[in-house]
A and B are shown apart, each in its own frame.
Chain A
Amino acid sequence: MTSSRRQFLASSARLGVLLGAGVPLLNACGGDGGSSRKKQTEPIADGLPPEKGPLRIINYADYVNPEVVANFEAKYGVKVEISTIDTDSEATAKLASGALKVDLHHSMVSTSIGNLIEGGLIQPLNRSYLTNRGNVLNAFDDPPYDPGAVYSVPYTFYGTGLGYRADRIDPAEVEAQGWDFLWNATKFKGQVSVLDDEREAFTMAMLRKGITDINTVDPAIIDQALADVTELIDLLNVKVNIEGYKDIPEGTTSLAHIWSADLIGGAASYLPEGVTADVLGYWHPPTKQYVVNNDMMGVLANAENPVLAHLYIDYLLDNDVSELNFSWNGYLPALTKLDADYVINAGYVPENLRNCVPTNDDIAKGLRYKALGPDGDALYEAAWSKFTAGG
């Protein structure tokens, strides 16, 4: 009886805090990761049978084709439950507090996966379950965020560049001016957006000035980047969001700082009737200055269904499954087979957006974000708060 009363009090307190102050505060009341299950610090053993599920996944909304999920359920006779998140930090907070019991993190990012590993939230993968791992582009064999790819497998990858309406903007001008074009686009005031992401926005400003150390924590460089991005408020009445994927195809935005995969998805889903993908254009810097990123999947250290989680990852690395997924959401899988030629010939990507598909070379030689540490994060976040406050 004592333990149930204690459980009741704990649940009540959590409920009260959740209702009153939201997840970050619930997280504050959380313990050591929540689950009483032992954390897995070594890869699981070979040859284990899959658990009965349900397989619980944490992911962004609409990030995976429901048909793919349904097919996995049918293949393994299990249920898949997806808890959605809006931001990466929300996912970390929920997982760290134990507020959510999850087997698989579907969308980790390079700037925080290091924290998840160091914090013991994810477990090393057992590759004997990942029979399709060989389909992955070899540039992901030893990624900087997870040396040796011990803990993660890439889900989707993308570059960061400028998306624009090619029927309003001359592609040759964008090509000639590069990032400067954004600062010069006063003709399109009110129709320009930058990514709602401090690292991406300040990196753009740094690259414009020729600074390629995109993981710098030099306050002077960050301050200069803040000043440069702040200029855009008066110059362009710039918007700060991640909605270029629909705003450019719909025509409400003419120029956007954008993730390349978003433009591919937007071309497939958001062009008004009678408008072809010819109206879209994308520019990115040369390979050595091109920021290429990827989301990655990993298994939680306290997963109750670790074998099933491995099998799900392996399922998504299958070429056909991945193609089915890509055909629905437009997020490029990091698989060798689905390169630019393949996805263009198959009709998923229009030829004029060929450069939205990063190459193996782009990943191997391009710029990659790294975790900055608490002080570095604080510098970028304080600067971002100033920018979004109006400068």
Chain B
Amino acid sequence: MSAPTIVQVDPMGGRPPRTGTWAVFAMPGVGWLIALFVVPVYAVMAVAFGSVDPILRTPQPAWNPLAWDFSAMSSLLDRVFGGDLGKVFLRTFAFVFLALAGCVAIGYPVAYFVARKASRTRGVLLALLVLPFWISYLMRMLAWTNLLQQDGYVNRMLQWLQVMDAPRNWLDGDWPTVVIGLVYGYVPFFILPLYSALERIDGRLIEAGRDLGASAFRTFLRITLPLSIPGLMAASVITILPMMGDYYTNSYLTSGSPRTEMVGNQIEYFLRGSSQPQTGASLVLVLMAFLLVLMVYYLRTTLKAQRESER
């Protein structure tokens, strides 16, 4: 008896793939990217390396790269590396890192529960997760300023639970309030992509782990967690990017304390409140450069994970 022959079927029926058709589908996306990313970024560069109208103090962008003036960027870099703005960058990174840790601590269990355990109530829970998006971010932050007042509900609750003897002044410009605000504001952005990744994990792999004698915790540690890493990375990127440019959370929750100033506040000041828009635009580019490093790391990690899963 001869061995069975494996017949490979060509889904295209031997015809060459019509790549042109697919390229047409990509055009709206490419157009969108050019109009809303490439052009604005170039405009930022033209402002950063341009000049300012000496009378009206409005930006005079240099559209021709040969005419770019790097003096504003140069002085800014001096302030970022070794100057006062370096402190602001470090503070921003610290706030964002702590807020991300908070998002993981709160968001992962929630996403895991909704994806793996809440089969009947999943729809309701997902709706509840999306609910905060119905209310403006600023309104939610304003609500927190009321909750965190000295005679607000947070202090009353903590005193009732006997966690504190006297009310704490949450809004007096301390960093924990900013981190709490960032976690609260961005945790829904973290949960949704993570939920999506956890929900796609093949349940049979988890069952196999349990069948082979692993405890629930060990199964989670050896199977679920590694398989959720790409989702975790995506969720982290989605939350880190807006948090890095955030300037209203700390403004609202600490009433403009210099102790909680973030990079976004400096950008806002230079672009909207000063006569040096080129400094603000340069700051945008520096922040983008930092974020680009994170993005490259994310893309490399996800590509590596993808290749391994395809082996």
Binding site for B on A (CB under 8 A): 12-13, 16-17, 19-25, 27-30, 86-87, 89-90, 92-93, 96-97, 115-116, 118-119, 121, 189-191, 193, 196, 233, 237-241, 243, 247, 252, 374, 377-378, 381, 384-391
Contact = CB atoms under 8 A, between A and B. Distances in A.
Contacts of A374: 52, 54, 57, 275
Nearest to B50: A28
Interface stretch (B35-43, B221-229, B295-303): B35-43
A60 to B, nearest CB: 14
Interface string B56-90: 11111100000000000000000000001101100
Given A233-B258, A238-B258, A241-B256, A388 B56 contact: no
Contact of B259 (A23, A93, A390): A390
Contacts of A19: 36, 40
Contacts of B36: 16, 19-20
SS of A interface (majority): helix
Contacts of A30: 58
Contacts of B255: 193, 239-241, 243, 247
B81 to A, nearest CB: 14
5 contacts: A17-B39, A28-B47, A28-B59, A92-B58, A378-B275
Nearest to A86: B272
Contacts of A27: 58-59
B28 to A, nearest CB: 14
B256 A24 contact: no
The 7 closest A-B CB pairs, nearest first, are: A20-B40, A190-B172, A240-B256, A28-B61, A239-B255, A28-B59, A241-B256
A20 B57 contact: no
Contacts of A196: 256
A115 to B, nearest CB: 5
Contact of B257 (A25, A115, A237): A237
Contacts of A13: 39
A384 B266 CA distance: 10
A252 B150 contact: yes
B14 to A, nearest CB: 44
B156 interface: no
Given A17-B39, A385-B270, A390 B88 contact: yes
Contacts of A29: 43, 61
Contact of A388 (B52, B61, B265): B265
A240 B258 contact: yes
A388 B266 contact: yes
Nearest to A243: B255
B258 A24 contact: no
Nearest to B171: A252
Contacts of A97: 58
A21 B269 contact: no
B270 to A, nearest CB: 7
B276 interface: yes
Contacts of A239: 172-173, 254-257
B55 interface: yes
A191 B169 CA distance: 9
Given A381-B275, A388-B269, A24 B88 contact: no
Given A25-B40, A92-B58, 6 more contacts: A16-B39, A87-B272, A385-B84, A385-B270, A385-B274, A388-B261
From B46, B85, B172, name the one whose CB has the most chain A CB atoms within 10 angstroms. Answer: B172
A238 B257 contact: yes
A12 B35 contact: yes
B256 A22 contact: no
B272 A24 contact: yes
B277 interface: yes
Contacts of A237: 172-173, 257, 259
B77 to A, nearest CB: 14
A270 to B, nearest CB: 14
B271 interface: yes
A121 B60 CA distance: 17
A390 B84 contact: yes
A231 to B, nearest CB: 12
Contacts of B173: 190, 237, 239
Nearest to A190: B172
Contacts of B50: 28
Nearest to A97: B58
B149 interface: yes
B44 interface: yes
A123 B37 CA distance: 39
Contacts of A389: 84-85, 87-88, 258, 261, 266
A322 B221 CA distance: 71
B91 interface: yes
B56 A25 contact: no
B271 A22 contact: yes
B53 interface: yes
B273 interface: yes
Nearest to A233: B258
A154 B166 CA distance: 48
Contacts of A190: 169, 172-173
From A17, A19, A28, name the one whose CB has the most chain B CB atoms within 10 angstroms. Answer: A28
From B54, B59, B171, name the one whose CB has the most chain A CB atoms within 10 angstroms. Answer: B59
From B58, B85, B277, name the one whose CB has the most chain A CB atoms within 10 angstroms. Answer: B58
B40 A118 contact: no
A20 B256 contact: no
A79 B295 CA distance: 50
A391 B258 contact: yes
Contacts of B37: 20
Nearest to A189: B172
B272 A90 contact: yes
Nearest to A15: B35
A238 B150 CA distance: 17
Contacts of A23: 272
Interface in B255-297: 255-259, 261, 265-266, 269-277, 280-281
